Amino acid sequence: MAEVQPYRMVDPDWAVAEIERRTGHVFFRRELALLAITHSSGANHRDCSNERLEFLGDAILGFTTCQYLFQNYPAWQEGDLTRVKSLVVSRQTCAEWANALGIDELLMVGKGVGSPGRLPPSLLANSFESIVAAIFLDAGMAAAQAFLWPRVSAKADEAAGLDAEANFKSALQQLVQRDYGRPPTYLVVSESGPDHDKTFCVQVQLGTRRFEAGWGKNKKQAEQRAAGTALRELEREMAEGTGLPGL
């Protein structure tokens, strides 16, 4: 492993134990965990830093995010998927995840880079991606995605909720008002789960017609998904010459 400059002397055994505790992954190859937290400024050679791991981790994060969005937002087109993906995989998001794990106090860095609590966000973001790659190399994609999935899903749903209102509900409203003359209504078909963790099912209704339902962790999210489904169906019908007038 890389020799660390005196600025940040981190005990390797403690560092690996903390990474395992904070990520929930027990490493078979502890050298991967140490490599993931070794910045190039704290290594005696760039090959002994986490730069290559960062490259791989970025790809794994991107794939996992695409997979989640593809599976959970079936009504979305490429542009909408791309917008939300860019928010999930951003430097800011990765830095936030690194901060939540307290990675800054584990990183092996050289002089002049920063101190715990004051490290550059880009460095923290890179370290998060490096840890993702280390888990992947240690135990495969299933292990890496087990680590990523709760983070990606929460951030994607948050970003989708912010993005979808403008892209789906607004677009549906404009289309329907222009070509049908009446606004859509949103009906809560059902809700399930305890009060602190409910799931809602919502349908869009135009006149007497109801569209396929959308599910969400709150009414707003369910409405966005229902609007997206209705919009996609109406656009398909219009392309075929069978859409809107009279529904």
Give the CA diameter of the chain.
75
Tokens at residue 176, please? 């329907």
Q: Give the integer Cα–Cα distance in Å for 128 and 93.
A: 10
Q: What's the distance, CA 132 to chain centroid? A: 13
Count of other CB atoms within 10 angstroms of residue 204? 28
Tokens at residue 226, please? 């229902």
| Annotated catalytic residue within 18, 54, 58, 157 | 58
| Annotated catalytic residue within 80, 104, 129, 157 | 129
- DSSP annotation string for 137-205: HHH-HHHHHHHHHHHHHHHHHHHHHHHHIIIIIHHHHHHHHHHTSS--EEEEEEEES-GGG-EEEEEEE
Q: Give the integer Cα–Cα distance in Å for 205 and 194.
A: 27
Closest CA to 175 of 111, 215, 230: 230
157 given a catalytic annotation:
no
For 214, the enclosing helix (H) or strand (E) is strand 214-216
104 given a catalytic annotation:
no
The b/e string for 24-33 (b: 16+ C-beta within 10 A; e otherwise) is ebebeebebb
So which residues are the catalytic ones? 58, 129
